Amino acid sequence: MSPQHHAEIEEHELPSIEAVLAGTLALMTGYSQALQAELHPRQRVLMGAKIDANLAQLAQYPQLSRGFRQVLQGLQQRWQAMGACTRGAASDCGVTTPAPPPTHLLAAPEWLQ
């Protein structure tokens, strides 16, 4: 493996809740990029659905404080509303959007790499 290739690989060992939080923040960053909305509206809809699902999962995590879980629940409600707007805008442009994510969530593994 070349030194340049090695430098491009980011591997982190995180507890599962931190991995979900980090992944959610990364998705939010991608979702917020205007170019993503113009070039890949369907992918943006999918990212919004995953953000919503991740926030719901995080809000149920018992090791987080009650206040933090309440903030996450509020964020999830806002992302649900934003997701509906995004799906509506995408369909106005002739983009078929996926069905909403399943309401059940699988438990995350204890550690992710």
pLDDT digits (tens, 9 = 90+) for 48-64: 999 999 999 999 998 89
| 6-15: average pLDDT | 60
| 59-79: average pLDDT | 93
Ranges 17-26, 74-83, 91-100: which has the least confidence: 91-100
Q: According to the model, what pLDDT value does residue 113 have?
A: 47
Examine the pLDDT at 72 and tell me if it is beyond 90.
Answer: yes
| 21-45: average pLDDT | 84
Distance CA 108, CA 113 (A): 12
Question: Nearest Cα to 69, choosing from 56, 81, 78?
Answer: 56
111 band by pLDDT with thresholds 50, 70 and 90: low
12 band by pLDDT with thresholds 50, 70 and 90: low
Question: Nearest Cα to 52, choosing from 73, 33, 79?
Answer: 79
Q: According to the model, what pLDDT value does residue 15 have?
A: 74
Decide: 44 and 37 in contact? Cβ < 8 Å.
yes
Examine the pLDDT at 92 and tell me if it is beyond 70.
Answer: no
Query: Dihedral of CA 45/47/50/52: which sign?
Result: negative
